[in-house]
Amino acid sequence: MIVFDQENRIFTLHTLNTTYQMKADRYHMLLHTYYGSRIDDCDLSSLIRCEGRSFSPNPDEAGSNRDYSLDVMPQEYSTCGVGDFRLPSIELELPNGSHTADLRYEGFRLEKGKYTLEGLPGFYCAGDEAETLVILLKDFAAQVTVELYYGVFEAVDLITRAVRVVNQGREKVRICRCESLCLDFLRSDLDMITFNGHHLMERCLDRGPLRPGIQSVGSVRGTSSHQHNPFVMLCDRDADEDMGLCYGVMLLYSGNFEAAVECSQYENSRLVMGIHPYHFCWTLNSGEAFTAPEAAMVCSTGGFGQMSRQYHRAIRAHLIRDPYNGRRKPVLVNNWEATYFDFTADSLVGIAREAAALGIELFVMDDGWFGSRNDDNSGLGDWQVNQKKLPGGLKALVPRIKALGMKFGIWMEPEMVNEDSDLYRAHPDWVLHVPGRAPSRGRGQLVLDFSREDVRDCIYGQMKEVLASAEISYIKWDMNRSLTDVWSAGLPARQQGEVYHRYVLGVYDLLERLHHDYPHILIEGCCGGGGRFDGGMLYYTPQIWCSDDSDAIDRLRIQYGTSFCYPVCTMGAHVSAVPNEQNGRVTPLKTRGIVAMSGAFGYEMDLGKCTAEEKREIGSQVESFKTHYELLHHGDYYRLGSPFQDNAYTAWEQVSPDRREAIVNVVLGCTHAAPPFRTLRLKGLHPAYQYQIDGSDALYSGETLMKAGYPLPQMQGDYPAFQFCLKAVG
């Protein structure tokens, strides 16, 4: 609900459990007054206090009033160069060379439903599930308007934000920074939580107190990156899974980003998040507009778990698009770790045949099927079937897979090219490169200049031919290097600061075309695993390969960190062979199954090499996944134990919305002789319900299971795991 108090010019955004407020003051500055637990009928501007502070300048309108300074008051969208020395939200370069932005409140409008952003991903709604507020700020000297967009999703406690900058003057201006969000707090006794890592170990949680100065994470790799995720949290120092105030902020963007928090001199703090200012400079001609990507905030007063569940609900219902926002996605088998580049049509059909017999529904042919691709040195850019490897092409192969009752999926890496390819030989200027410099390679490949429409058209033309040649139900869209040598032959020198962002817009453009032309095709995002796991990609690709590390124990950490923002149904997770390809670890098949089932489930191994007993176990895993799919993927998610803090076990639980069913997953770390007896306290159950566990006769009340716990069985061997189901009776 959006409430406007006209007399006091106060805007209050209420969600079910939270309130967000801002106020246009007497000098037409838009101040941020509050974000937190819901407060009805409120004017929270009295929380903002000012008094004269040396070295904090006063704006001209304040006249002799030295108590008023932008430098100490919480701003809704901070300015630059005019008296607030903390992190700016916007930086403009005006034709006279000045770098200032001075924004004053000009007006607002309310819209039904949720705004959309042209060419950019965003949360969406049906009918009146959300409302929009647009606040207009203006820099009068620059003749630039800044529109602040707010989308209020009341039921899921989500508020989205975006910013549109319009040049209403006659001369060009340049935008050197344009944050998607600025969030000021009248306190700095907060912890910051970020999700960091590297290729093969993404999104590991890190928590630490704010300290004076600026703390930030971000990416200048052209992708949102393996190293830092565009999702950050701020929380009470004592907040934990189940209690305390915490704020989550996610950026729906797949390129360079920065999330920075400044803890200022008077112990206030400010979080800004948006496109990374590195090599970003956008020229705005007279009459043109620039839109910064969307950010989405959740505030929880019930700890991290509640925040995650709100994000999960919102992402499932308002970000993942039809037809995959509710429908069960097929269990897949992927041949990558089974064969790498070394396969034939017969060996692929062999894997598919074994998989079909075990109830697996989709066969995915990974890298190596096209051009001259027999290793990773050649072929990218030539999206025609390698007839030597697959005689008769997809026309011959796909019907063989379909005859097994399976769907067929294919791997592609549309943004990349190898120098050893027909595409590169014909168009060497189509890659990102700086004239006069030899470009850096990554995995031996170069990056196509996706900021150019002609380049995208050519790739899309090739993709369409592939898709027309056979019945294809799934695409794995991969991307296997970071961007370097970012310069485009398609833009003049003054606009080279636009290339990083135009590249991302180009990727979104092609993904949107695919989604529009082939809505039934399920696209799985991938970037060497989870190097582009973000809300932007999820709008186009309802699942993303979570990591190239498929080891179940490493995956506990990766999937745990990922779960803080992103729901289980978005995390590509496969059972692979042991010893694991990435770390050599041997884990039980059961453990691998339990971990992968809490993800977009599949297998990535040569099933023909499994013993009869293993096949039986895989068959029953697939069956169990299908039976419990609704609960596993759409249930409310509770973290019961962290893989970082608790060596004894990692546990998590999914609970049905009516709390009548739950599934509990437990993975033990190191086992020891004569281990202590442990109990596991569950969460999210109905205290008064009586639950049956795995159909046995004994009944446990929800209250007992949550307060006293469930006795964990004693287990032996390396990394054992178990799963049990609760059903309310009566």
Cα distance between residue 291 and residue 3, in whole Å: 25
The CB-of-14 to ligand DGJ minimum distance in angstroms stands at: 42
- What count of other Cβ atoms lies within 10 Å of the Cβ of residue 586? 11
Question: Which residues, 323 to 342, sit near ligand DGJ by CB under 6 A?
Answer: 336
CA dist list (Å): 313 to 221, 534, 575, 636, 652: 30, 16, 26, 8, 17
Residue whose C-alpha is closest to residue 145's, from 28, 271, 290? 290
The CB-of-350 to ligand DGJ minimum distance in angstroms stands at: 20
Options 242-250, 265-273, 526-534, 579-587: segment touching ligand DGJ (CB under 6 A): 526-534
**Exactly one of 151, 393, 414, 529 binds ligand DGJ (CB under 6 A); which one?**
529
Options 171-179, 240-248, 497-505, 525-533: segment touching ligand DGJ (CB under 6 A): 525-533
The CB-of-480 to ligand DGJ minimum distance in angstroms stands at: 5
Q: What is the DSSP letter of 16?
A: S
Nearer to ligand DGJ, 380 or 640 (CB): 380
Options 277-285, 292-300, 521-529, 660-668: segment touching ligand DGJ (CB under 6 A): 521-529
The CB-of-545 to ligand DGJ minimum distance in angstroms stands at: 5
The CB-of-552 to ligand DGJ minimum distance in angstroms stands at: 16
Of 534, 549, 551, 554, the active-site residue reads 534
Binding mask 350-369 for ligand DGJ (x = CB under 6 A): ----------------xx--
Cα distance between residue 31 and residue 13, in whole Å: 14
Is 534 noted as a catalytic residue in this protein? yes
Nearer to ligand DGJ, 488 or 547 (CB): 547
Nearer to ligand DGJ, 219 or 547 (CB): 547
**Phi and psi (nearest 5°) for 613?**
-65, -45
Please say whether the dihedral angle defined by the alpha carbons of residues 294, 300, 304 and 310, taken in this order, is positive or negative.
Answer: negative
- What count of other Cβ atoms lies within 10 Å of the Cβ of residue 454? 10
Query: What are the start-end ranges of the E strands in 172-230?
Result: 173-185, 190-198, 201-209, 213-219
Helix axes 345-357, 393-402, angle to 10 degrees: 20
Cβ atoms of 43 and 147 within 8 Å: the answer is no
What is the H or E stretch that residue 41 is in? none
Cα atoms in the 13 Å half-sphere on the side-chain side of 91: 19
- What count of other Cβ atoms lies within 10 Å of the Cβ of residue 726? 25
Nearer to ligand DGJ, 83 or 530 (CB): 530
The CB-of-500 to ligand DGJ minimum distance in angstroms stands at: 22
Residue whose C-alpha is closest to residue 162's, from 295, 72, 341? 295
Question: Which residues, 392 to 411, sit near ligand DGJ by CB under 6 A?
Answer: 411
The CB-of-415 to ligand DGJ minimum distance in angstroms stands at: 13
Question: Which residues, 546 to 565, sit near ligand DGJ by CB under 6 A?
Answer: 548
Nearer to ligand DGJ, 149 or 566 (CB): 566
Nearer to ligand DGJ, 71 or 478 (CB): 478
Residue whose C-alpha is closest to residue 314's, from 302, 303, 325? 325
The CB-of-94 to ligand DGJ minimum distance in angstroms stands at: 45
**Exactly one of 526, 537, 589, 666 binds ligand DGJ (CB under 6 A); which one?**
526
Nearer to ligand DGJ, 411 or 710 (CB): 411
The CB-of-544 to ligand DGJ minimum distance in angstroms stands at: 10
Residue whose C-alpha is closest to residue 500's, from 277, 684, 306, 350? 277
Question: Which residues, 440 to 499, sit near ligand DGJ by CB under 6 A?
Answer: 478, 480
Q: Return all residues near 209 (Cβ < 8 A) that are at least 6 apart.
A: 189, 190, 191, 192, 237
The CB-of-479 to ligand DGJ minimum distance in angstroms stands at: 9
- What count of other Cβ atoms lies within 10 Å of the Cβ of residue 95? 12
Options 204-212, 291-299, 444-452, 524-532: segment touching ligand DGJ (CB under 6 A): 524-532
Nearer to ligand DGJ, 395 or 443 (CB): 443
SS3 649: strand
**Exactly one of 59, 122, 244, 528 binds ligand DGJ (CB under 6 A); which one?**
528
Of 614, 617, 703, 718, the active-site residue reads 614
Options 348-356, 523-531, 669-677, 705-713: segment touching ligand DGJ (CB under 6 A): 523-531
Q: What single string gives the DSSP state of each residue in 315-369? A: HHHHTSPTTTTTSPPPPEEE-HHHHTT---HHHHHHHHHHHHHTT--EEEE-S-S
Is 614 noted as a catalytic residue in this protein? yes
Nearer to ligand DGJ, 425 or 443 (CB): 443
Options 190-198, 386-394, 450-458, 522-530: segment touching ligand DGJ (CB under 6 A): 522-530
Check binding of 133 to ligand DGJ (CB under 6 A). no
The CB-of-463 to ligand DGJ minimum distance in angstroms stands at: 17
**Exactly one of 247, 503, 545, 649 binds ligand DGJ (CB under 6 A); which one?**
545
The residue whose two tokens read 């009869």 is 612
Cα distance between residue 564 and residue 637, in whole Å: 10
Helix (DSSP H) and strand (DSSP E) numbers for the chain: 12, 37
Nearer to ligand DGJ, 411 or 649 (CB): 411
Cα distance between residue 476 and residue 521, in whole Å: 10
Nearer to ligand DGJ, 258 or 548 (CB): 548
Size of the site for ligand DGJ (CB under 6 A): 11
Residue whose C-alpha is closest to residue 199's, from 441, 547, 560, 537? 547
Cα distance between residue 330 and residue 572, in whole Å: 12
Q: What's the burial of 388, exposed, middle or buried (CB within 10 Å: 0-12/13-18/19+)? A: exposed
Q: What's the burial of 494, exposed, middle or buried (CB within 10 Å: 0-12/13-18/19+)? A: exposed
Q: Alpha-carbon Rg of the chain, whole angstroms?
A: 27
The CB-nearest residue to ligand DGJ is 367
Nearer to ligand DGJ, 59 or 379 (CB): 379
Q: What's the burial of 643, exposed, middle or buried (CB within 10 Å: 0-12/13-18/19+)? A: buried
The CB-of-340 to ligand DGJ minimum distance in angstroms stands at: 8
Which positions are annotated as active-site residues? 534, 614
User: Which residue ranges make up the site for ligand DGJ (CB under 6 A)?
Assistant: 336, 366-367, 411, 478, 480, 526, 528-529, 545, 548
